[in-house]
Amino acid sequence: KTPDLISVSKEVVIANAIIAILTIGGQQLFSFFTFSCPCHVGQNLVYGLAFLGVPALILLIVGYALNNQTWRLVTGKRSPLEGQTTPNRLLQCKLVCFVLCSITGRALVAPVTWLAVTLINGSYYVCAVSEYVPVHYYEANPNITASERRRILAAFPCSQLVPPELTRARDEVILLLRYQSQVAGWLLIAVVVITVFLSYCLASCFSPLSFLHFRYWSNYVHNEQELFDEATDQHSRLYAMQHVRKFFGFVPGSENVKEIRIPSLREWQAISGLAFLKRVDAEHYDYSLLHDWALKESKCRMEECDMYRLYEHFTCGK
């Protein structure tokens, strides 16, 4: 079992690494082609924070949306078998918290990478807070108004807008802001790494399973999901083939097709249009219009057979 367990953990690490690399590449391209600081009072902060926060928020939402566990948690219902036993509310809450933490941890890979890379790059931070630099970094007439000072400081991210006599002051301000931004970026990385490490340690300490038992359980869940996905694909394909065969008289790939079925106009109309999930009874759904037609066709044939048997019964009786 050990090679399989190692491969499972490697898959997670490789997936997170790919997400991080793609995020870094996307951030570099995004900055190169789209970012252009307005260098205007009041607009720098909004523009810089938007480029810092909005992509990170979008990546977080996408991370939640692409995780199958999210939809299992949202759409999952309590099993009917649980009604036969007394529900353990505390255990259910722990399970939900564990799943939420797992989902959130994976969803945070891309946004945290985005924030760390953008802070280490420094361009967004410089644009956002340039107009709020302390006054002693500004070498100019002290009698200048505060609004004029903020206007000039807001132009510092754009070198072409800075007067020549303020070039040295601009360089000092940019260096200061990049220093602050890069320190914040590395602190963010350190906090995330320590938090992840402590989370794994706490989860292992409070886990009811031993180390090898936990690895076996992880491997079992992984293999079960793979086998279930394969069976789901094969089962749905075979089930769909039954309905296609009923409509056309054969299925694609069949050899020695001797007879085909010509659907009527009414049947073509029955399977055309928009398909909605339709509940048939308390336990079953119709998955498509073709599925609905096939079930109704089978029901009609059964009724015809019953009528024919009834007719034969009365005929023989006479």
Q: State whether 49 and 64 are in the same domain.
A: yes
For the chain, the domain total comes to: 4
Helix, strand, coil % in the chain, rounded to nearest 5: 75, 0, 20
143 and 126 share one domain: yes
Same domain, 62 and 153: yes
- What is the model's pTM? 0.73
Structure tokens at 181: 């931004």
Per the domain annotation, does 196 fall within a domain? yes
Mark whether 192 and 243 lie in a shared domain: no
Tokens 């760390």 sit at which residue?
Answer: 116
What pLDDT is recorded for position 6? 44
Residue 173 resides in a domain = yes
User: What is the model's pLDDT at position 54?
Assistant: 92
**pLDDT value of position 308:** 47
Same domain, 187 and 152: yes
Question: Is residue 166 included in any domain, yes or no?
Answer: yes
Give the residues across from 286 on adjacent strands.
Answer: 278
Residues 300 and 189 in one domain: no
Residue 69's contacts (CB-CB under 8 Å, 6 or more residues apart) are 99, 102, 103
Claim to verify: residue 159 and residue 303 sit in the same structural domain: no
Query: Domain range spanning residue 6?
Result: 1-34
43 in the same domain as 27:
no
Q: What is the pLDDT of residue 23?
A: 83
Under 8 Å between Cβ of 40 and 153: no
Q: What is the maximal distance between C-alpha atoms in the chain?
A: 121
10-residue averages of pLDDT along the chain (318 residues): 46 77 81 81 90 91 89 69 58 80 88 92 91 67 74 86 84 92 95 90 82 87 92 94 90 82 90 80 84 83 56 53
The answer to whether position 40 is within a domain reads yes
Whether the CB-CB separation of 292 and 300 falls below 8 Å is answered with no
In a domain, 8, yes or no: yes
